[in-house]
Amino acid sequence: MVYEISETKKIGIGLIGFAILFSFLGVILFFDRGLLALGNLFFLSGVGILLGWQSTWQLFTKKLYLKGSIPFFVGLFLIFVRWPIVGIILEIYGAIVLFSGFGPSIKVFLSHIPVVGWLLQYPFQLFDHLRRLIG
């Protein structure tokens, strides 16, 4: 199965990649508030471009997802008002709750990338091989 990725989706994926980079640097550099804020802005704009603005709005405002979106935005607010450690913890919790439904789709997408797909499938292949040897 081949996935066709449009140019706007490539930009969205790139922005999410920059968000991960800036957030990682912000945590490594003792929770630098500016880098964490840039990472959050890149993440929100990347998700908006990747999913579409209306779908992103529905994702964050649907009653089912409020359990994840409220901590995410409270964490974002706390980063802006100089509480970066508590803010990043709330954001991580909110992001896990919000985007846990995308797990199977992300796994299928990553398994089709040449090196990453092999790295994801290797532990399962090794376990299956060991199971055949033992039993």
Q: Tens of pLDDT along 9-47? A: 889 989 999 999 999 999 999 999 999 999 999 999 999
DSSP 8-state symbol, 101: G
b/e string for 61-80 if b means 16 or more Cβ within 10 A?
eeeebeebbebbbebbebbe
Report the C-alpha gap between 33 and 26 in whole angstroms. Answer: 7
Over the Cα atoms of the chain, what is R_g? 18
pLDDT tens figures, 60-77: 999 999 999 999 999 999
Res. 81: pLDDT tops 90: yes
The C-alpha angle 40, 4, 124, rounded to 5 degrees, equals 75
